[in-house]
Structure 1
Amino acid sequence: MPVIEFTGVEKAFVDHRAVHDLTFGIEEGELVSVVGVTGCGKSTTFNLILGLFPPSEGTVRVAGHDPYAEFDWFRRRVAVVFQDARLLPWRTALQNVCIGMRFAGIPKDQWQDRARDWLARLGLAGRENAYPHQLSGGQRQRVSLARAFSVDPEIILCDESFSALDEITAQGLRREFVDLVREGGKTGVVITHSLAEALTLGSRILVLRPPGHLADDIAVPSDPDPAALEALRARVLAGMTPEGGAE
């Protein structure tokens, strides 16, 4: 059974249909990128996985559970890293990591050691007592990653998590993120508008096309040569292009 499974999912809001007949599965331990043009349903798909609202039709299952109806079951099992690090400005890096464990229900006597360990693993040893305004954008996102991994989730969801960073910083964080997901045996889903990022991060790419249906499901080889990489780029772009003309 896939750890994340959509079957015939529809999601309609008052003014538009965001997802249409969406079916896919993500296996345990996979790292999958989700791409598509603006309005293709990426964010709605992300929020359905999180259980923020139910589908209008069809089923969404995460580890065999309904994320909307069984929201409390997902505490500590799913962690999210957003584009904005979403750190509390009045708390230090260490305290920001600890607060994630507090909400996940991890015993308090474990917070400090786990937070220090993850900050060190993400290159922030010695910066534990710095406040967000004293950290660079890349360092703040490292704190956000430490907060996510410190709860030892089964699934990591990233929503444009590296898009606000300069490319050099983003490249380094992408590599570290991939290594941490693979080392920990996590399942990762990355929502991104960047084709280069999708090709770098994912072992698969799900291409969505408006109104939120699956246009392609592409396996990405671990080390494609330039010709294969260009062919992958062309295939993804073709899937992203709405019928009737280029976006």
Structure 2
Amino acid sequence: MKTGIALVTGASSGIGEATANRLAKAGYKVYGTSRRGAQAGQRTFEMLPLDVTSEESVEAAVKEVLRLQGRIDLLVNNAGFGVSPAAAEESSLDQARAIFDTNFFGIVRMTRAVLPHMRQQGSGRIINIGSVLGFLPMPYMALYSATKHAVAGYSESLDHELRTMGIRVSVIEPAYIKTPFDANFMAPDVPLDAYREVRSAVNKRVKEVVEGADGPEVVAETVLQAALAARPKLRYTAGGLASRLRLLRRFAPAGVVDAGIRKDLRLTT
């Protein structure tokens, strides 16, 4: 089992932290990142400060890993945030730009920073943390769904471009995961009375489902599987629910999928 040097963004908690720990356990030398840098407490991996919305910060972190280790074999793009369940109309253009700047353009910045070095060494893996919302949009999560669609499209295109250079790209698509992620939700910045009741109901439903969801370790195991696969797939679902939703999206009639989404979120008509 060949491992190497791994860089994991958004590794201070949740999926990122679980992934960094799992990779370290598997034998990778792992550098996790966070906007806040190293936090107190023992870790199985080292932490570096990194803000994926800043090109200077991205370049500095990548340069530091290369200074310390001379190579990067695996990049896991996990840093991201969401807007708490709300209607698309309730977010301003500034808020839309902010979520894309982290969730999508953050991945673009990180990828552009590591690719010259991976090309030079003739090998590498890039794994992007997407979501089932990248293939099955959810009402009242329009902006987050849009960023994850962008991540999926970018990842698939990039993989085709890089295969002949010994570099592979995969996107991991979990469903609900029980993490502190929702603590970092951004509230909609232009809330409207017209959506108040249904927004509240959807928020309540999402919290109910998250309480019984898989933990972040499910995603971490899938990342490791993709990282070590001799022939990695373009897209991996993580967890049973995500796999079922993928099958539903692929094989069920559109009307059935549509009705199922609305029934699950308890939306009328």
TM-score band, normalised by shorter chain: 0.3 to 0.5
Q: Select the structure that is richer in strand.
A: 1
Q: Select the structure that is richer in helix.
A: 2
The TM-score with structure 1 as length reference comes to 0.34
The TM-score with structure 2 as length reference comes to 0.32
